[in-house]
A and B are shown apart, each in its own frame.
Chain A
């Protein structure tokens, strides 16, 4: 079964600085999707960034980028120029196919709570 591990329960960063959140996963699949979701105090789950495993280029969305290391099964999230509004719980997720078909679900890590200090 696929598992997703976030080894940092909590992280903190100074405003305007850069922080990297770690995620590793276990899979035997060769083609898959990885995601980072953000859950602010409002508790809404918001997609931050998505990476397709077949793409060698790391995904980037404005201040958010990933370091995808397929062989190492590592998928870290880098937040540049951190802002107070980035404070949230961040979840790494892996898309898992169900029943060998096109049906799928997302398997989530336990999350990393990011604090941004002014």
Chain B
């Protein structure tokens, strides 16, 4: 158990809909990362938050947004969903210090029909 909690584990929805994925980082970790894992693109970095502030953006679509709340949990909002958004979405958190390791949650499997 990494200590990172993601909900829901599975989600099935239709095109055009909007979903919210939730992540609670490990206790004490201030950084939260979101990654998308699809078969053809591998693991793609989407966005990072540190202590409530957006720190970096990767390959995140404009239809997607995220935020980190004062209690450090984070939400990834996906809107106007398309078939191609079907993927495994991972949240990860990192510890203070300089080890570079990310601790991953179990992921949220999104299926868009």
Q: Does A90 reach chain B (CB closer than 8 Å)?
A: no
With a CB–CB cut-off of 8 A, which chain A residues contact B90? 45
Query: How far is B41's CA from A111's CA once the two chains are assembled, in angstroms?
Result: 11
- CB nearest neighbor in A for B50: A103
Quick one: which of B42, B58, B99 contacts A105, CB cutoff 8 A? B58
CA distance A44 to B5 in the complex (A): 11
Task: Give the nearest-CB partner of A47 in chain B.
Answer: B101
Residues on B close to A: CB < 8 A? Answer: 2, 33, 42-43, 45, 48, 50, 55-56, 58, 88, 90, 92, 98-104, 106-107, 109
A contact set with B: CB distance below 8 Å: 33, 35, 37, 42-47, 50, 91, 95, 98-99, 102-111
13 example contacts (A-B, Cβ-Cβ < 8 A) are as follows A37-B104, A42-B106, A43-B88, A44-B104, A45-B92, A45-B102, A45-B107, A50-B99, A50-B101, A95-B100, A105-B58, A106-B33, A107-B45
